[in-house]
Amino acid sequence: MSLTHHLPRILVIDADLDAIEMARFALWRNHLPCQFEWFDDAELANASLLTQALCRARDLPTLILLDPRSFPGTEGYELLRTLCVYQTLAHIPLVLFTAAPLSSDFAREQDGRIWYAAKPQRATDYMELVTQCVQQRLHQPEPF
C-alpha cells in the first residue's frame, strides 16, 4: 500500500484551470501533505462523486473546495445538490466559494460542514485562503 493512500484527499472543483493550479501550488508551497485532485468539469465531478457514493467507496475526499459559479448554467449547483443529498457524501467538509460570504447567522445555522468564502481576485490572496481552509479543516477533530 502506498503512502499517498493514507494522505488526505483534497478535491478542487472549479472551471478555472488557473484557480486549480494556484490551489495546487499553494498546498505544495506550504508543504501540506495531501493527495491533490481536481475537476474542471462539474458534470464529470458529479458523475464521479455520485459513483463513489453509490458504490460506498471508502476513499472519499477529505475536503472539497467548490466554486459552483464558475460553471455554465446550473452544473455547479447540481453538483452541490449531489454533495448535500447523498448521505455518503454529505459528511465531507466543503468550502463553498461565493460572490460574497453569507451572513454569519446563516452560516451558524449550518452543521459546520460547509464553510463559505469569497473568492479573492488576487492570486496571492486566493492561495492564502486555500491554504488556510485546508489547514483548518485538516486539523479539525472528527465529529462523532
Distances (CA, A) of 122 to 58, 73, 125: 36, 25, 5
- pLDDT at site 114: 87
- pLDDT at site 40: 97
Cβ atoms 64, 48 nearer than 8 A: no
Nearest to 35 by CA among 60, 68, 54: 60
Cell of 105: 447567522
In this prediction the pTM is: 0.85
Q: How far apart are CA 15 and CA 1, in angstroms?
A: 32
- Any residues with CB less than 8 A from the CB of 59 and at least 6 apart, and which? 5, 9
3-class SS of residue 141: coil
pLDDT along the chain (144 residues), means of 10: 70 96 96 94 96 87 94 92 91 85 49 83 94 83 47
Domains of the chain: 3-138 (3.40.50.2300)
- pLDDT at site 1: 44
